[in-house]
Amino acid sequence: MGVTFFHEVEDANDPLFVMAFSGWNDAAESATAAARYLIQHFQGKRVAQIQPDDFFQFADQRPTVKLSETGERQISWPLNEFFYCQTPGLARDLLVGIGTEPHLKWKHFSRDVLAIGSHYDARMIVTMGALLAGDLHTQPSHLMAIATDPLLVKPSGVEITRYEGPTGIVGVIHTLMQDEGFPAVSLWVNVPHYIASLSNPKATRALLDKLSNLGGIEISLEDFDIAIDTFDGQVEQIIARDPRIAKYVEDVQKGQIPDDIPGLDFQDAFDGELEEEAEEGKLPPGAEVADEIERLLRRKPGGPESD
């Protein structure tokens, strides 16, 4: 087993195990942003780590090198870390895992995840993901879920999806939990495909809101309201300034999304998960729009450049 445990936990209070992975499962970094918020907001303490050696092809996911204050070179490896949140403001504890989708040995990796949950006496796991869809940025974020028992999802009011098709590490972990009789929910949020390269606070807030319902915990989300207003305002300004982008968004609003897009099946996105990424060199309609929105938003810190 490639797990390193750093700390034991005293007086555990029915911890809810929450996980998010960057990569295929994380459109607009919505799921990992939610996990980071939990760790920071509830002052999570790092308690475990899955060692990367067995699970990553480092030629594809290269480690990075940094210089310390003394000039020594330090290597940072792809990590999957686990943090324990135990504060008086929580009705129950949180065990939050955040990391990078591994390349290799997914079954082995999933059993390490199960071992961590069992080690800290978690009795339920909620994995979070985000997918590209044909939703508009002006619409409320739409969520779907899969669950080992539909009753687990009932408090949140999220619909159960019957998606079938390609999956990521989140799907593999969920299936293992199902096979082992470990209660689990996989919670997914839709992200508008034409702004998918931008961090999306609306999608992150939606995940945290439903997680709060699922886990019976109170999560303060007021900090997101200003971020969402700013984000929506910036996108609206860009759309208003570029007729080509405005026309594209108008077509999406009318449901005029092509049925057959190279590398991307929007029907699958509506049903629950993203198909394979676009083939190299074959940008789907909207990719150029997304690039233009991103370029304009990043031209000036804090928002679009003034005329």
Question: Which DSSP string do the residues of 210-248 spell out, in sequence order?
Answer: HHHHHHT-----HHHHHHHHHHHHHHHHHHHH-HHHHHH
Q: Which of 25-34, 207-216, 247-256 has the lowest mean pLDDT?
A: 247-256
Cα 44 from Cα 76, distance rounded (Å): 21
Q: What is the CATH number of domain 3-224?
A: 3.40.50.10900
Scored b (16 or more CB within 10 A) or e, 101-132 reads: bbbeebeebbbbbbebbebbebebbbbbbbbb
Q: What integer pLDDT is reported at residue 111 of this predicted model?
A: 97
Please say if the pLDDT value at position 258 is more than 90.
Answer: no
Q: Is 288 or 214 the better-scoring residue by pLDDT?
A: 214
Q: Which residue, chain included where needed, has tokens 């779907």?
A: 144
What are the Cα distances from residue 122, in Å, to 16, 18, 65? 6, 10, 35
Tokens representing 193 are: 């495909």
Q: What integer pLDDT is reported at residue 259 of this predicted model?
A: 39
Cα 223 from Cα 226, distance rounded (Å): 6
Confidence of residue 251 (pLDDT cuts 50, 70, 90): confident
Interior CA angle at 22 toward 18 and 26, to 5°? Answer: 85
Cα 208 from Cα 221, distance rounded (Å): 8
Cα 211 from Cα 187, distance rounded (Å): 8
Q: Assess contact for 18 and 125: CB atoms under 8 A.
A: yes
In sequence order, the 6+-apart residues with CB closer than 8 A to the CB of 78 are 52, 56, 58, 61, 63, 99, 100
pLDDT mean over 110-136: 94
| Residue 151 one-letter amino acid | L
Please say if the pLDDT value at position 61 is more than 90.
Answer: no
Q: What percent of the chain has pLDDT over 90?
A: 56
Cα 39 from Cα 16, distance rounded (Å): 13
Q: What integer pLDDT is reported at residue 303 of this predicted model?
A: 45
Q: What percent of the chain has pLDDT over 70?
A: 82
Tokens representing 174 are: 């969920």
Please say if the pLDDT value at position 170 is more than 70.
Answer: yes
Please say if the pLDDT value at position 295 is more than 90.
Answer: no
**Domain chopping of the chain, boundaries:** 3-224
Please say if the pLDDT value at position 108 is more than 70.
Answer: yes
pLDDT mean over 110-115: 97
pTM for this model (two decimals) = 0.81
Please say if the pLDDT value at position 282 is more than 50.
Answer: no
Q: What integer pLDDT is reported at residue 121 of this predicted model?
A: 95
In sequence order, the 6+-apart residues with CB closer than 8 A to the CB of 257 are 134, 251, 266, 285
Q: Is 190 or 300 the better-scoring residue by pLDDT?
A: 190
- Mean pLDDT, the chain, integer: 83
pLDDT mean over 124-128: 97
Number of continuous H segments (helices) and E segments (strands) in the chain = 9, 11
Q: How many CB atoms lie within 10 A of CB 162?
A: 9
Q: What integer pLDDT is reported at residue 232 of this predicted model?
A: 86
Q: What integer pLDDT is reported at residue 275 of this predicted model?
A: 36
Q: Which residue, chain included where needed, has tokens 């999560």?
A: 219
- Most confident by average pLDDT, 44-48, 87-91, 164-168, 273-277: 44-48
Please say if the pLDDT value at position 100 is more than 70.
Answer: yes
Q: Assess contact for 31 and 21: CB atoms under 8 A.
A: yes
pLDDT mean over 78-87: 94
| Residue 307 one-letter amino acid | D
Q: What integer pLDDT is reported at residue 124 of this predicted model?
A: 96
